[in-house]
Amino acid sequence: MNQKAILYLALLAFGIAVPFMFPAYKLQISIMWILVVLSLTWDVQGGQMGYNTFGNIMFFGLGMYICSSFQIGIFFPLAEWTASGGEKTFIHTPTQFFQGFFIGIIFAGIIPALVAAIIGYGILGLRGHYFAICTLGLAIAAGELAGGIELVGAGQGMTSPPWPKNIGDTELRSEFFYYICFVLMISTFLFLRWAYTTRFGLVLNAIRDNEDKAEAMGINTMRYKISGWVVSAFFVGIAGGLMGNMIGYIEPVETAFAGRTFGVFMVVMAILGGKGTLWGPVIGAIAFHIFKEGFWTFFLGWQYVALGALIVIVVIFFPEGIMGWLREKYPDRFGEVIDEEDRKAQVELK
């Protein structure tokens, strides 16, 4: 057992113990894990591949709608559930609820991944800021479209199935969702950790550093770009499905295609933590969530001023994020050796 393994185990134990240690914070921490997933998957594009996307929130909303639609649609007529005014109320039995939930979650991952694969060829061919703005447009258009489709409640929004009444109390519900979120976070992290050690990770970095050169070296960059996006879409979609169930109410532009909140947060978190690193997005998301939940209630009304200022300050003064700052400060701990003589020589040259 080396030190690293002990650390991972300790973190795992911490994650598992949370519901018992802090029962009141279960939802809060579940959302934190969701945010970690969002920022980790954003980093696949934004950090590792150098494709700054504003559009990953689209998969989040898609997953949310798909998950709930499946949960409802398998057992009841969806159109009647979402009919404006909601005349009829259907109650899921526990079996129906869990069957529906797992089927919904699976599709909430698969369908966004498929969508990413299909539109990827067109969208990922764009470079730089064109890509950024195009994905921004996609995300907003998706929200507006969802707000116009009657089947999913249009602007009324839709409610996701409530937790079945006759099994356990609300504590059980939050524990259930907590562990699912935790498992999702762990699997996303481990998957990406593994993926970054393979050829896939190297190609992504090559694309970031110089895409034309990578192409010239005979790498089919498009294939890797698309698969990166598919991976992100898959995990983000599941996160969306979970979030829809936890919140209980899906509103097209506020909870589902929530560009103004989660869409921005995922970028800020990844950059805050340090993009292009594995741990950066995780640390960024956790720090951001704690900052947000801890301090926003004291600002009452000034949060968005604080958020705006935070973005500007981070982007201008700490574009490398927390991890970058640590790296600068303690290079040896990142396995980097600095030749003092050489550094001095360079400083003199400047």
Interface with other proteins, residue 325, by CB under 8 A? no
Structure tokens at 20: 């018992």
Tell me the Cα Rg of the chain: 21
Within the chain, where are the H helices? 3-21, 26-43, 56-73, 78-82, 94-123, 128-146, 170-197, 199-209, 211-216, 221-247, 264-273, 279-299, 303-317, 321-329, 340-349
Q: Report how far residue 124's alpha carbon sits from residue 334's, in angstroms, rounded to the nearest whole number.
A: 32
Interface with other proteins, residue 294, by CB under 8 A? yes
- Does the CA dihedral 123-129-132-137 come out positive or negative? negative
CB atoms within 10 A of CB 341: 8
Angle at 285 between CA 37 and CA 172, to 5 degrees: 60
Only segment of 65-73, 93-101, 197-205, 307-315 that touches other proteins (CB under 8 A): 307-315
Applying CB under 8 A, which of residues 1, 20, 85, 218 lies at the interface with other proteins?
Answer: 85
Applying CB under 8 A, which of residues 102, 194, 249, 325 lies at the interface with other proteins?
Answer: 249
- Residues from 163 through 222 that contact other proteins (CB under 8 A): 163, 170, 173
| Min CB(294)–other proteins separation in Å | 7
CB atoms within 10 A of CB 209: 10
Contacts of 125 (CB under 8 A, 6+ apart): 222
- Residues from 251 through 290 that contact other proteins (CB under 8 A): 251-255, 258, 260-262, 264, 267, 271, 279, 283, 286, 290
Applying CB under 8 A, which of residues 20, 216, 218, 297 lies at the interface with other proteins?
Answer: 297
| Min CB(48)–other proteins separation in Å | 15
| Min CB(341)–other proteins separation in Å | 25
Applying CB under 8 A, which of residues 12, 16, 79, 84 lies at the interface with other proteins?
Answer: 84
- Residues from 110 through 129 that contact other proteins (CB under 8 A): 122-123, 125-126, 128-129
Interface with other proteins, residue 89, by CB under 8 A? yes
| Min CB(103)–other proteins separation in Å | 21
Q: Whose Cβ is closer to other proteins: residue 28's or residue 205's?
A: 28
Interface with other proteins, residue 144, by CB under 8 A? yes
Nearest to 47 by CA among 259, 320, 230, 307: 320
Q: Whose Cβ is closer to other proteins: residue 102's or residue 330's?
A: 330
